[in-house]
Amino acid sequence: MLTSMQGEIPAVICPVTCRTPEEAVHFIRRLSKDHRTDIIELRLDYMWPDMTVDGLVQLCRTAKDILGEKPLIATFRTHAEGGEASITDAEYVALKCDIAKAGCASYIDVEYNRGRSVVDNILGSARVYGMKTILSTHDFQKTDSEDRLLEKLVVMKQTSPDIVKMAVMPLRPDDVLRLLSATAAMKELYPDTPLITMSMGRLGAVSRLIGGVFGSIATFAAAGHGSAPGQMQLGPMRDVLTIISEASGSA
C-alpha cells in the first residue's frame, strides 16, 4: 500500500491530531474525500488517557470503515519520541496487539526505542494477525553520523518490520545531508526494504520534499495542526512534490 520508487512521487501521509473521538471522526471523514492525501495517520496519543485501550481500538475500527481503501496508520507516539502522552509497556503492547487482532488499521506504528521485548511482542502478534508494521525511531535532539544512522536502520530492518521509519533533528545544514545519504545507502544495501526518513524542523524541511529521490517512500503533511516540527501543509506539499516529479521526468 505504501509504495514509491526513486524518481516517483512519495506517498503523502496526513496526521489526525484531534483531542476527542468526535473531532477525529469528523476530520477523518473530510480527509477520506481529499485526493491530496494518500494515507491517514491516526494519532491515538492525543486522546490518551481520556480514552481506554478498548475505546481507541473502536475508534480505529470507525476510522478504517470511513476510509475504505485509503490506508490507515494507527500510531501512539509517546512523550519520549515527541508525542503527547506516556503509557506503560503493558498498555502499549495491549493497544498495539489489540489493533492487530481486530484488523482495524492498515499499519501499526511501533517505536523501536521501547525495547526489544516490546518490539518483538508486538511484531510477533502483528505477523500472526496479518497486520503490517512500521518500526519507527525519532531523535528530537540531534542527528548522528551517517555511519551510526545507517547502522541503526540496518538493526531495525533485522527485526523484520514491513517499513522502517527514522526522523532526526538537524542542528546544521550538513546534518540534513547525512540523513539523506544514510537513506540512499540503506536503499542501496536493502532495495526491498521500504524506508520513510526525514530531517525535522525548519532546517530539515527540504528532506520532506526530496526524500523520495534518496529512497524514502513517504512524507508527512498537515491539514491544519501538524504532528512534528517542519511539517508543511498538505496543499503546498502536494504541489511541490508534483513539480519535482515533473522536473525529474523531463530531465
Q: Which string of DSSP letters, residue by residue, matches 116-173? A: HHHHHHHHHHHHHHT-EEEEEEEESS----HHHHHHHHHHHHTT--SEEEEEE--SSH
Query: Is residue 231 part of an annotated ligand binding site?
Result: yes
Query: Is residue 43 part of an annotated ligand binding site?
Result: yes
The catalytic residue among 70, 96, 138, 152 is 138
Query: Is residue 172 part of an annotated ligand binding site?
Result: no
Query: Is residue 208 part of an annotated ligand binding site?
Result: yes
The catalytic residue among 152, 157, 165, 187 is 165
Query: Is residue 58 part of an annotated ligand binding site?
Result: no
Residue given cell 525548519 in the structure block: 202
241: Cβ–Cβ under 8 A, 6 or more apart, which residues?
Answer: 9, 10, 12, 209, 212, 219
Spatial strand order of the sheet with 11-16 comes to 195-199, 163-168, 132-139, 107-111, 72-75, 39-43, 11-16, 218-222, 232-233
Across the chain, where does the E strand assignment appear? 11-16, 39-43, 72-75, 107-111, 132-139, 163-168, 195-199, 218-222, 232-233
Per the DSSP assignment, residues forming a β-bridge with 196 are 165
Query: Is residue 42 part of an annotated ligand binding site?
Result: yes
Query: Is residue 41 part of an annotated ligand binding site?
Result: yes
Active site residue 138: yes
Going by C-alpha positions, the residue among 242, 221, 194, 247 that lies closest to residue 9 is 242
Active site residue 33: no
- Binding site for 3-dehydroquinate: which residues? 41-43, 77, 208, 227, 231
Catalytic residues: 138, 165
- Binding site: which residues? 41-43, 77, 208, 227, 231
